[in-house]
Amino acid sequence: MNIRIPFNKPYLTGKETAYIQEAVASGKISGDGLFTARCHRFFEQRYGFAKCLLTSSCTDALEMAAILLDIQPGDEVIAPSYTFVSTVNAFVLRGARIVFADSGAEHPNLDVSTVEALISPKTKAIIVVHYAGAACDMDAVMALAEKYRLWVIEDAAQAVESFYKGRPLGSIGHLAAFSFHETKNIISGEGGMLVINDSRFANRAEIIREKGTNRSQFFRGEVDKYGWVDIGSSFLPSDIIAAFLYAQLECLEDIQQKRLQLWQAYQEALQPLADAGKLQLPTLPPSASNNAHMFYVLCNNLEERSALIESLKAQGIWAVFHYLSLHRSPYYHSKHDGRPLPHCDRYADTLLRLPLFYELSQEGLGEVVHHIYQYYA
């Protein structure tokens, strides 16, 4: 199959290899080197995050969050079912029972209005996923957390440079996790970041990230020797990964501007099809900004989406569906309490992601749009 227009193409700014060489020349390419510090400083200064720690993946950041919150067997964690498995697997690993919430009627984010009814004496945390970089209703989530004394984790894997009522996503919950996987706006191949907004977790987060040792405090001269003081694992990435990431961060505004142009071009070009009822276009939740992480359409049913995927593929265009409902997954189906989650299932069956990457030309985008029109004609 000749794929002429891929779903995604990693964008290189041109400085990645030079910064990697600089990292190598520094004599320290393990974790927490020169470029790791630069990345931490960038995020803390640009978004006001209290503390940032780069990790090997967003999955690792979520696993750190589960350890920091002292999730125990029998604890309940509320999360959307329409998300990637890492969102909840991190907490299942600690023994938690996941109580899945449905998505909203207008957007794949979890329907916050359904969350309070899911809270029980065993509930310990709420995980929100900012799907496609669009903010959940964080005021409502944080109000529930305060009322019931719960922790809030923002799965902000797709949400770099996204805002809720002017506040950066990842700065609102007690903890937040970001991804720099090659499919994200800002990339390092693999990679992630844990954001700690509650100072009570700051010191322990460093320890957990460093295999349960107080090594970071030792190198800052805060202790005279370091040893094993807690559970943990090796969550920190090589400084080579951070060097690649820093080259991307320096071009953040340029990358975002180009992605927003492409997103808007899709929206305008496909609006007539939406007006005719052929498909639905993405809607932004109230108070959410658009970081152009993803452009998706909603087909009318699973069969229509499958046929559209095949039609585009025949033209060398790679469009892909997204998550399958986790509450219906082979692993968790028997553990789910049986509640139907119809909106989640609807997105699982009908949502289709279109090619969107920095080097996608207007001509290429126009070709995608043309063949979508041909299919519906």
Interval 136-170: pLDDT, tens: 999 999 999 999 999 999 999 999 999 999 999 99
Same domain, residue pair 259 and 241: no
pTM reported for the whole predicted model: 0.97
Q: What is the pLDDT of residue 280?
A: 98
Going by C-beta distance under 8 Å and a sequence separation of 6 or more, which residues neighbour residue 191? 54, 55, 56, 57, 179, 180, 181, 237, 241, 245
Residue 189 falls within a domain, yes or no? yes
pLDDT in tens, 348-372: 999 999 999 999 999 999 999 999 9
- Judged by DSSP in three states, 52 sits in strand
Residues whose CB falls within 8 Å of the CB of residue 182, separated by 6 or more in sequence, listed in order: 8, 10, 189, 190
CB-CB neighbours of 223 under 10 Å: 14
- Residue 1's pLDDT is 65
Residues 231 and 269 in one domain: no
82's CB contacts (< 8 A; 6+ apart) are 103, 108, 110, 129, 131, 323, 325, 326, 343, 344, 347, 348
- The answer on 33 and 114 residing in a single domain is yes
**Of all helices (H) and strands (E), which one includes residue 148?**
helix 138-148
How many domains does the chain fold into? 2
Strand partners, 177: 155, 194
Among 250, 265, 289, the domain-final residue is: 250
233 with 324, same domain: the answer is no
Residue 162 lies in a domain: yes
DSSP secondary structure string for all residues of 174-215: SEEEEE--TTSSS--SS-EEEEE-SGGGHHHHHHHHBTTB-H
Dump strand ranges (E) for the chain.
51-55, 76-80, 97-101, 123-129, 151-155, 163-164, 167-168, 175-179, 192-196, 296-298, 351-353
Check whether residue 50 and residue 179 sit in a common domain: yes
To the nearest 10°, report the CA torsion of 243, 245, 250, 252.
180
Q: Do 183 and 34 share a structural domain? A: yes
Question: Would the CA dihedral through 98, 99, 103, 109 be positive or negative?
Answer: negative
Over the chain, what is the mean pLDDT? 96
pLDDT at residue 216, rounded to an integer: 77
We report the CATH number of the domain holding residue 203 as: 3.40.640.10
Same domain, 261 and 239: no
Identify the CATH number of the domain in which residue 355 sits.
3.90.1150.10
Domain end residue (candidates: 250, 283, 317): 250
Residue 318 lies in a domain: yes
Q: Tell me the pLDDT band of 220, cut-offs 50, 70 and 90.
A: confident
303 and 259 inside one domain: yes
In a domain, 124, yes or no: yes
Whether 207 shows a pLDDT value over 70: the answer reads yes
- Which domain-ending residue is among 215, 233, 250? 250
**pLDDT at position 217, please?**
79
- Interval 259-273 mean pLDDT: 98
Q: What is the mean pLDDT of residues 204-210?
A: 95
What average pLDDT does this structure show over 283-311? 97
On whether residue 11 sits in a domain, the answer given is no
Establish if 330 belongs to a structural domain.
yes
* Judgement on whether residues 59 and 201 belong to the same structural domain of the protein: yes
Q: How confident is the model at residue 222 (pLDDT cuts 50, 70, 90)?
A: confident
Is there a contact between 127 and 88 (Cβ–Cβ < 8 Å)?
yes
Helix, coil or strand: residue 97: strand
- Domain span holding position 36: 16-250
Q: Cβ(94)–Cβ(71) under 8 Å?
A: yes
Give me the mean pLDDT over the 252-269 stretch.
98
Burial class (CB in 10 A: 0-12, 13-18, 19+), 218: middle
pLDDT recorded at residue 224: 78
Same domain assignment for residues 262 and 122? no
Q: Round to whole Å and give the CA distance between 38 and 44.
A: 10
Q: Give the span between the Cα atoms of 201 and 278, in whole angstroms.
A: 49
pLDDT for residue 264 is more than 90: yes
Backbone phi and psi for residue 71, each to the nearest 5 degrees, phi listed first: -65, 130
Contact 101, 55 (CB under 8 A): no
Give domain status of residue 3, yes or no: no
What is the percent of the chain where pLDDT is above 90? Answer: 95
Mean pLDDT of 257-276: 98
DSSP assigned state of 114: G
Q: Is 175 within a domain?
A: yes
- pLDDT for residue 215: 78
Shared-domain flag, residues 197 and 285: no
Extract the tokens encoding 257.
Answer: 């501007």
* Tens digit of each residue's pLDDT (9 = 90 or more) over 337-348: 999 999 999 999
Looking at the structure, do residues 165 and 62 belong to the same domain, yes or no?
yes
List, for residues 81-137, the tens digit of each pLDDT value.
999 999 999 999 999 999 999 999 999 999 999 999 999 999 999 999 999 999 999
